[in-house]
Structure 1
Amino acid sequence: MTPLEIAASAVTTISILLAGRNSIHTWWTGIIGCVLFGLLFWQAKLYADVALQVFFVLASTFGWWQWLYGNKGNSLPITRAGVRTIAKIAPIGVLVAGAYGAMLFHYTDAYAPYLDSSILVFSVIAQWLLMQRKLESWWFWLLVNTVAVPLFASRELYLTAFLYACYWVNACIAYRHWRSLSASDLKSDYEVSIASK
Protein backbone atom coordinates (compact mmCIF):
# COMPACT_ATOMS: atom_id res chain seq x y z
CA MET A 1 0.00 0.00 0.00
CA THR A 2 1.53 3.29 -1.12
CA PRO A 3 0.71 6.89 -0.16
CA LEU A 4 -0.58 7.37 -3.73
CA GLU A 5 -3.03 4.46 -3.38
CA ILE A 6 -4.21 5.79 0.00
CA ALA A 7 -4.75 9.32 -1.36
CA ALA A 8 -6.49 8.12 -4.54
CA SER A 9 -8.74 5.80 -2.56
CA ALA A 10 -9.67 8.43 0.04
CA VAL A 11 -10.60 11.14 -2.45
CA THR A 12 -12.46 8.76 -4.76
CA THR A 13 -14.40 7.29 -1.84
CA ILE A 14 -15.61 10.76 -0.92
CA SER A 15 -16.66 11.36 -4.53
CA ILE A 16 -18.53 8.05 -4.80
CA LEU A 17 -20.35 8.57 -1.52
CA LEU A 18 -21.38 12.03 -2.73
CA ALA A 19 -22.69 10.52 -6.00
CA GLY A 20 -24.74 8.04 -4.01
CA ARG A 21 -26.23 10.95 -2.07
CA ASN A 22 -27.01 12.75 -5.37
CA SER A 23 -24.62 15.63 -4.50
CA ILE A 24 -23.15 17.96 -7.13
CA HIS A 25 -19.81 17.87 -5.28
CA THR A 26 -19.25 14.35 -6.58
CA TRP A 27 -17.84 15.84 -9.78
CA TRP A 28 -14.91 18.00 -8.63
CA THR A 29 -13.84 15.48 -6.00
CA GLY A 30 -14.08 12.80 -8.68
CA ILE A 31 -11.71 14.71 -10.98
CA ILE A 32 -9.03 14.82 -8.27
CA GLY A 33 -9.49 11.12 -7.46
CA CYS A 34 -9.26 10.13 -11.13
CA VAL A 35 -5.96 11.94 -11.63
CA LEU A 36 -4.50 10.13 -8.61
CA PHE A 37 -5.84 6.73 -9.72
CA GLY A 38 -4.52 7.30 -13.24
CA LEU A 39 -1.01 7.61 -11.82
CA LEU A 40 -1.50 4.53 -9.63
CA PHE A 41 -2.80 2.34 -12.47
CA TRP A 42 0.04 3.45 -14.75
CA GLN A 43 2.50 2.13 -12.18
CA ALA A 44 0.55 -1.18 -11.98
CA LYS A 45 0.49 -1.56 -15.82
CA LEU A 46 -3.32 -1.50 -15.92
CA TYR A 47 -3.41 0.65 -19.04
CA ALA A 48 -7.13 0.32 -19.76
CA ASP A 49 -7.75 1.68 -16.28
CA VAL A 50 -5.40 4.60 -17.01
CA ALA A 51 -7.42 5.39 -20.13
CA LEU A 52 -10.57 5.08 -18.03
CA GLN A 53 -9.32 7.71 -15.58
CA VAL A 54 -8.65 10.13 -18.45
CA PHE A 55 -12.20 9.54 -19.66
CA PHE A 56 -13.53 10.10 -16.12
CA VAL A 57 -11.79 13.47 -15.84
CA LEU A 58 -13.41 14.64 -19.09
CA ALA A 59 -16.77 13.05 -18.26
CA SER A 60 -16.78 14.53 -14.77
CA THR A 61 -16.32 18.00 -16.21
CA PHE A 62 -19.30 17.47 -18.50
CA GLY A 63 -21.34 15.71 -15.79
CA TRP A 64 -20.79 18.64 -13.44
CA TRP A 65 -22.22 21.02 -16.05
CA GLN A 66 -25.01 18.59 -16.99
CA TRP A 67 -26.26 18.18 -13.42
CA LEU A 68 -26.28 21.96 -12.93
CA TYR A 69 -27.74 23.08 -16.27
CA GLY A 70 -28.73 20.00 -18.32
CA ASN A 71 -32.48 20.53 -17.99
CA LYS A 72 -32.89 23.64 -20.18
CA GLY A 73 -30.62 25.65 -17.93
CA ASN A 74 -31.95 24.07 -14.74
CA SER A 75 -30.79 21.19 -12.54
CA LEU A 76 -31.17 17.76 -14.13
CA PRO A 77 -33.66 15.44 -12.32
CA ILE A 78 -33.18 11.71 -11.71
CA THR A 79 -34.92 9.69 -14.44
CA ARG A 80 -34.89 6.14 -15.77
CA ALA A 81 -33.05 5.01 -18.90
CA GLY A 82 -35.58 2.26 -19.59
CA VAL A 83 -35.27 -1.40 -20.53
CA ARG A 84 -34.97 -0.68 -24.26
CA THR A 85 -31.94 1.57 -23.78
CA ILE A 86 -30.23 -0.93 -21.49
CA ALA A 87 -30.97 -3.78 -23.92
CA LYS A 88 -29.19 -1.81 -26.66
CA ILE A 89 -26.11 -0.66 -24.76
CA ALA A 90 -25.29 -3.85 -22.81
CA PRO A 91 -24.48 -6.07 -25.86
CA ILE A 92 -22.51 -3.23 -27.43
CA GLY A 93 -20.52 -3.02 -24.19
CA VAL A 94 -19.70 -6.74 -24.36
CA LEU A 95 -18.49 -6.44 -27.98
CA VAL A 96 -16.37 -3.37 -27.33
CA ALA A 97 -14.87 -4.88 -24.17
CA GLY A 98 -13.90 -8.01 -26.13
CA ALA A 99 -12.34 -6.02 -28.96
CA TYR A 100 -10.41 -3.71 -26.65
CA GLY A 101 -9.29 -6.67 -24.53
CA ALA A 102 -7.95 -8.40 -27.65
CA MET A 103 -6.01 -5.26 -28.58
CA LEU A 104 -4.48 -5.05 -25.10
CA PHE A 105 -3.66 -8.77 -25.20
CA HIS A 106 -1.82 -8.56 -28.53
CA TYR A 107 -0.12 -5.16 -28.31
CA THR A 108 0.69 -4.48 -24.64
CA ASP A 109 2.01 -6.20 -21.54
CA ALA A 110 -1.32 -5.57 -19.80
CA TYR A 111 -2.28 -7.82 -16.91
CA ALA A 112 -5.71 -9.51 -17.39
CA PRO A 113 -6.54 -7.51 -20.52
CA TYR A 114 -10.12 -8.77 -20.94
CA LEU A 115 -11.14 -8.08 -17.35
CA ASP A 116 -9.33 -4.75 -17.46
CA SER A 117 -11.12 -3.77 -20.67
CA SER A 118 -14.49 -4.88 -19.25
CA ILE A 119 -14.00 -2.56 -16.30
CA LEU A 120 -13.18 0.27 -18.71
CA VAL A 121 -16.11 -0.24 -21.09
CA PHE A 122 -18.81 -0.81 -18.48
CA SER A 123 -17.49 2.06 -16.36
CA VAL A 124 -17.87 4.30 -19.41
CA ILE A 125 -21.47 3.13 -19.78
CA ALA A 126 -22.15 3.62 -16.07
CA GLN A 127 -20.57 7.07 -16.11
CA TRP A 128 -22.55 8.06 -19.22
CA LEU A 129 -25.76 7.09 -17.43
CA LEU A 130 -24.64 8.84 -14.22
CA MET A 131 -23.93 12.05 -16.14
CA GLN A 132 -27.57 11.97 -17.27
CA ARG A 133 -28.73 11.17 -13.71
CA LYS A 134 -30.20 7.84 -14.83
CA LEU A 135 -31.14 5.41 -12.07
CA GLU A 136 -29.77 2.42 -14.00
CA SER A 137 -26.23 3.76 -13.75
CA TRP A 138 -26.05 1.95 -10.40
CA TRP A 139 -26.71 -1.41 -12.06
CA PHE A 140 -23.59 -0.94 -14.15
CA TRP A 141 -21.54 0.24 -11.19
CA LEU A 142 -22.50 -3.01 -9.43
CA LEU A 143 -21.20 -5.00 -12.41
CA VAL A 144 -17.96 -3.00 -12.62
CA ASN A 145 -17.26 -3.36 -8.90
CA THR A 146 -17.93 -7.11 -9.03
CA VAL A 147 -15.20 -7.52 -11.67
CA ALA A 148 -12.81 -4.93 -10.21
CA VAL A 149 -12.49 -6.35 -6.67
CA PRO A 150 -10.74 -9.63 -7.60
CA LEU A 151 -8.69 -7.97 -10.37
CA PHE A 152 -7.24 -5.30 -8.09
CA ALA A 153 -6.61 -7.85 -5.34
CA SER A 154 -4.67 -9.99 -7.82
CA ARG A 155 -2.36 -6.99 -8.42
CA GLU A 156 -1.85 -6.59 -4.67
CA LEU A 157 -3.83 -3.34 -4.66
CA TYR A 158 -5.55 -4.53 -1.51
CA LEU A 159 -6.82 -1.18 -0.30
CA THR A 160 -8.26 -0.44 -3.73
CA ALA A 161 -9.89 -3.90 -3.85
CA PHE A 162 -11.38 -3.37 -0.39
CA LEU A 163 -12.71 0.05 -1.38
CA TYR A 164 -14.28 -1.34 -4.55
CA ALA A 165 -16.03 -3.92 -2.36
CA CYS A 166 -17.32 -0.98 -0.30
CA TYR A 167 -18.33 0.77 -3.53
CA TRP A 168 -20.35 -2.33 -4.41
CA VAL A 169 -22.30 -1.89 -1.17
CA ASN A 170 -22.58 1.85 -1.83
CA ALA A 171 -24.04 1.15 -5.29
CA CYS A 172 -26.79 -0.97 -3.69
CA ILE A 173 -27.60 1.77 -1.19
CA ALA A 174 -27.37 4.50 -3.83
CA TYR A 175 -29.75 2.63 -6.13
CA ARG A 176 -32.38 2.50 -3.38
CA HIS A 177 -31.82 6.16 -2.49
CA TRP A 178 -32.02 7.35 -6.09
CA ARG A 179 -35.09 5.19 -6.70
CA SER A 180 -36.86 6.83 -3.75
CA LEU A 181 -35.83 10.30 -4.97
CA SER A 182 -37.01 9.44 -8.47
CA ALA A 183 -40.37 8.19 -7.18
CA SER A 184 -40.88 11.32 -5.04
CA ASP A 185 -39.97 13.54 -8.02
CA LEU A 186 -42.48 11.72 -10.21
CA LYS A 187 -45.13 12.00 -7.49
CA SER A 188 -44.53 15.74 -7.01
CA ASP A 189 -44.65 16.32 -10.80
CA TYR A 190 -47.94 14.42 -10.92
CA GLU A 191 -49.36 16.44 -8.03
CA VAL A 192 -48.32 19.72 -9.72
CA SER A 193 -49.97 18.67 -12.99
CA ILE A 194 -53.20 17.70 -11.19
CA ALA A 195 -53.21 20.95 -9.22
CA SER A 196 -52.74 23.02 -12.36
CA LYS A 197 -55.86 21.55 -14.04
Structure 2
Amino acid sequence: MNSTRILLFAGGNLGDWAIRYIREGDWLVGVDRGALFLVRNGLSPRLSIGDFDSVTAEEMAEIERHSLDVSACDPVMKDLTDTEMALTWAIGQKPREIVLLGVLGSRFDHTLANVHLLGKSLQAGVSCRIVDERNEIRLVNSHCQLSQDQFTHVSLLPLTMEVTGITLRGFMYPLEDATLRIGDTLGISNILVEQTGTIDVRTGRLLVIKSKD
Protein backbone atom coordinates (compact mmCIF):
# COMPACT_ATOMS: atom_id res chain seq x y z
CA MET A 1 0.00 0.00 0.00
CA ASN A 2 1.33 3.47 -0.90
CA SER A 3 0.18 7.04 -0.20
CA THR A 4 -1.28 7.65 -3.64
CA ARG A 5 -4.90 8.71 -4.13
CA ILE A 6 -6.41 7.66 -7.47
CA LEU A 7 -9.39 9.53 -8.90
CA LEU A 8 -11.43 7.73 -11.57
CA PHE A 9 -13.53 10.02 -13.79
CA ALA A 10 -16.24 8.12 -15.65
CA GLY A 11 -18.79 9.47 -18.13
CA GLY A 12 -21.73 10.07 -15.77
CA ASN A 13 -22.60 13.22 -13.86
CA LEU A 14 -19.55 15.52 -13.77
CA GLY A 15 -19.02 19.24 -13.39
CA ASP A 16 -16.85 21.95 -11.90
CA TRP A 17 -17.35 20.35 -8.47
CA ALA A 18 -15.38 17.33 -9.69
CA ILE A 19 -12.42 19.46 -10.80
CA ARG A 20 -12.38 21.18 -7.40
CA TYR A 21 -12.11 17.75 -5.80
CA ILE A 22 -8.64 17.16 -7.27
CA ARG A 23 -5.67 17.57 -4.92
CA GLU A 24 -2.01 17.95 -5.73
CA GLY A 25 -0.41 14.53 -6.25
CA ASP A 26 -3.63 12.73 -7.21
CA TRP A 27 -3.45 10.23 -10.06
CA LEU A 28 -6.22 10.96 -12.58
CA VAL A 29 -7.79 8.18 -14.63
CA GLY A 30 -10.25 8.94 -17.42
CA VAL A 31 -12.85 6.25 -18.06
CA ASP A 32 -14.32 6.43 -21.56
CA ARG A 33 -15.96 9.87 -21.93
CA GLY A 34 -14.62 10.85 -18.51
CA ALA A 35 -11.21 11.08 -20.18
CA LEU A 36 -12.56 13.73 -22.56
CA PHE A 37 -13.90 15.67 -19.57
CA LEU A 38 -10.43 15.72 -18.04
CA VAL A 39 -8.50 16.77 -21.14
CA ARG A 40 -11.02 19.50 -21.96
CA ASN A 41 -10.42 20.89 -18.50
CA GLY A 42 -6.70 21.11 -19.19
CA LEU A 43 -5.77 17.94 -17.29
CA SER A 44 -3.64 15.01 -18.45
CA PRO A 45 -4.92 11.61 -17.31
CA ARG A 46 -2.26 9.18 -16.15
CA LEU A 47 -4.42 6.57 -17.89
CA SER A 48 -7.43 6.78 -20.21
CA ILE A 49 -9.24 3.47 -20.39
CA GLY A 50 -12.38 1.98 -21.93
CA ASP A 51 -13.98 1.04 -25.22
CA PHE A 52 -14.54 4.75 -26.03
CA ASP A 53 -17.80 4.02 -27.80
CA SER A 54 -19.21 7.33 -26.51
CA VAL A 55 -16.62 9.57 -28.21
CA THR A 56 -16.04 10.48 -31.84
CA ALA A 57 -12.83 9.75 -33.72
CA GLU A 58 -11.81 13.40 -33.33
CA GLU A 59 -12.49 13.32 -29.59
CA MET A 60 -10.53 10.07 -29.28
CA ALA A 61 -7.55 11.70 -30.97
CA GLU A 62 -7.82 14.56 -28.47
CA ILE A 63 -7.80 12.06 -25.58
CA GLU A 64 -4.76 10.27 -27.02
CA ARG A 65 -2.81 13.52 -27.42
CA HIS A 66 -3.27 14.57 -23.81
CA SER A 67 -3.13 11.23 -21.91
CA LEU A 68 0.07 9.73 -20.56
CA ASP A 69 -1.25 6.26 -21.43
CA VAL A 70 -4.32 4.89 -23.22
CA SER A 71 -5.86 1.43 -22.89
CA ALA A 72 -8.62 0.89 -25.43
CA CYS A 73 -10.63 -2.29 -25.96
CA ASP A 74 -13.29 -3.59 -28.33
CA PRO A 75 -16.77 -2.32 -27.32
CA VAL A 76 -18.40 -5.70 -28.02
CA MET A 77 -15.84 -8.39 -27.20
CA LYS A 78 -15.39 -7.58 -23.52
CA ASP A 79 -16.77 -8.94 -20.26
CA LEU A 80 -16.25 -5.97 -17.92
CA THR A 81 -17.68 -2.47 -17.91
CA ASP A 82 -15.23 0.34 -18.50
CA THR A 83 -15.51 1.38 -14.86
CA GLU A 84 -14.73 -2.12 -13.60
CA MET A 85 -11.68 -2.29 -15.87
CA ALA A 86 -10.47 1.04 -14.50
CA LEU A 87 -11.15 0.08 -10.89
CA THR A 88 -9.32 -3.24 -11.33
CA TRP A 89 -6.29 -1.34 -12.65
CA ALA A 90 -6.48 1.15 -9.79
CA ILE A 91 -6.69 -1.57 -7.12
CA GLY A 92 -3.60 -3.16 -8.66
CA GLN A 93 -1.64 0.04 -7.95
CA LYS A 94 -2.26 -0.51 -4.20
CA PRO A 95 -3.16 3.12 -3.50
CA ARG A 96 -4.14 4.66 -0.18
CA GLU A 97 -7.58 5.52 -1.56
CA ILE A 98 -9.66 5.34 -4.73
CA VAL A 99 -12.40 7.87 -5.45
CA LEU A 100 -14.96 7.22 -8.18
CA LEU A 101 -16.45 10.31 -9.85
CA GLY A 102 -18.93 10.43 -12.70
CA VAL A 103 -20.17 6.89 -11.98
CA LEU A 104 -23.70 8.02 -11.08
CA GLY A 105 -25.93 9.05 -13.95
CA SER A 106 -29.09 8.48 -15.94
CA ARG A 107 -28.44 4.78 -16.59
CA PHE A 108 -29.66 3.12 -13.39
CA ASP A 109 -28.17 -0.25 -14.38
CA HIS A 110 -24.70 1.30 -14.60
CA THR A 111 -25.25 3.31 -11.43
CA LEU A 112 -26.25 0.22 -9.46
CA ALA A 113 -23.41 -1.83 -10.94
CA ASN A 114 -20.93 0.87 -9.93
CA VAL A 115 -22.24 0.88 -6.35
CA HIS A 116 -21.71 -2.88 -6.26
CA LEU A 117 -18.13 -2.36 -7.50
CA LEU A 118 -17.31 -0.96 -4.06
CA GLY A 119 -17.20 -4.61 -2.97
CA LYS A 120 -14.13 -5.24 -5.13
CA SER A 121 -12.04 -2.65 -3.32
CA LEU A 122 -13.43 -3.68 0.07
CA GLN A 123 -12.32 -7.25 -0.61
CA ALA A 124 -8.90 -5.99 -1.71
CA GLY A 125 -8.53 -3.88 1.44
CA VAL A 126 -8.33 -0.59 -0.48
CA SER A 127 -10.38 2.38 0.74
CA CYS A 128 -12.86 3.42 -1.94
CA ARG A 129 -15.85 5.72 -2.21
CA ILE A 130 -18.18 7.14 -4.82
CA VAL A 131 -18.60 10.92 -4.83
CA ASP A 132 -20.81 13.27 -6.76
CA GLU A 133 -22.16 16.77 -6.12
CA ARG A 134 -24.83 15.53 -3.69
CA ASN A 135 -23.71 12.10 -2.49
CA GLU A 136 -20.81 10.18 -1.02
CA ILE A 137 -21.13 6.39 -0.91
CA ARG A 138 -18.90 3.84 0.76
CA LEU A 139 -19.18 0.18 1.73
CA VAL A 140 -18.41 -0.95 5.28
CA ASN A 141 -17.95 -4.39 6.85
CA SER A 142 -16.30 -3.46 10.16
CA HIS A 143 -15.67 0.11 11.32
CA CYS A 144 -16.18 3.52 9.77
CA GLN A 145 -15.70 7.06 11.08
CA LEU A 146 -17.54 10.03 9.56
CA SER A 147 -17.09 13.76 10.06
CA GLN A 148 -19.61 16.56 9.69
CA ASP A 149 -19.33 18.28 6.29
CA GLN A 150 -21.54 19.59 3.50
CA PHE A 151 -23.53 16.34 3.42
CA THR A 152 -26.39 16.69 5.89
CA HIS A 153 -27.83 13.18 5.99
CA VAL A 154 -26.40 9.70 6.49
CA SER A 155 -28.30 6.61 5.36
CA LEU A 156 -27.48 2.95 5.94
CA LEU A 157 -28.58 0.22 3.55
CA PRO A 158 -27.56 -3.45 3.67
CA LEU A 159 -25.81 -4.77 0.57
CA THR A 160 -25.92 -8.33 1.88
CA MET A 161 -29.11 -10.13 2.90
CA GLU A 162 -28.41 -9.25 6.52
CA VAL A 163 -26.04 -6.91 8.36
CA THR A 164 -25.69 -7.53 12.09
CA GLY A 165 -24.13 -5.79 15.07
CA ILE A 166 -24.70 -2.26 13.74
CA THR A 167 -23.77 0.30 16.40
CA LEU A 168 -23.87 4.06 15.84
CA ARG A 169 -22.22 6.73 17.97
CA GLY A 170 -22.59 10.48 17.46
CA PHE A 171 -25.87 10.30 15.53
CA MET A 172 -29.31 11.76 16.24
CA TYR A 173 -30.79 8.26 16.01
CA PRO A 174 -28.32 5.85 17.63
CA LEU A 175 -28.32 2.09 17.12
CA GLU A 176 -26.92 -0.55 19.43
CA ASP A 177 -26.15 -4.03 18.08
CA ALA A 178 -28.94 -3.66 15.50
CA THR A 179 -29.68 -5.81 12.45
CA LEU A 180 -30.71 -4.53 9.02
CA ARG A 181 -32.04 -6.80 6.29
CA ILE A 182 -32.56 -6.20 2.59
CA GLY A 183 -35.69 -4.07 2.26
CA ASP A 184 -35.44 -2.42 5.71
CA THR A 185 -35.60 1.39 5.71
CA LEU A 186 -34.73 1.94 9.38
CA GLY A 187 -31.32 3.32 8.41
CA ILE A 188 -32.55 6.08 6.10
CA SER A 189 -31.84 9.79 6.77
CA ASN A 190 -29.91 9.84 10.03
CA ILE A 191 -27.99 12.98 11.08
CA LEU A 192 -24.61 13.47 12.70
CA VAL A 193 -25.02 15.50 15.89
CA GLU A 194 -21.36 15.38 16.92
CA GLN A 195 -18.32 16.50 14.94
CA THR A 196 -17.45 12.87 14.27
CA GLY A 197 -19.54 9.73 14.38
CA THR A 198 -18.71 6.05 14.21
CA ILE A 199 -20.38 3.08 12.58
CA ASP A 200 -19.50 -0.47 13.63
CA VAL A 201 -20.64 -3.66 11.92
CA ARG A 202 -20.19 -7.24 13.08
CA THR A 203 -21.21 -9.19 9.96
CA GLY A 204 -22.32 -8.30 6.44
CA ARG A 205 -21.74 -5.35 4.12
CA LEU A 206 -23.38 -2.00 4.78
CA LEU A 207 -23.72 0.90 2.34
CA VAL A 208 -23.08 4.21 4.09
CA ILE A 209 -24.55 7.05 2.01
CA LYS A 210 -23.93 10.68 2.92
CA SER A 211 -26.17 13.03 0.98
CA LYS A 212 -27.70 16.49 0.73
CA ASP A 213 -30.80 17.84 -1.03
Instruction: Give the TM-score, by structure 1 length.
Output: 0.28
Higher strand share: 2
Instruction: Give the TM-score, by structure 2 length.
Output: 0.26
Higher relative contact order, chain-length normalized (CA < 8 Å, sep 6+): 1
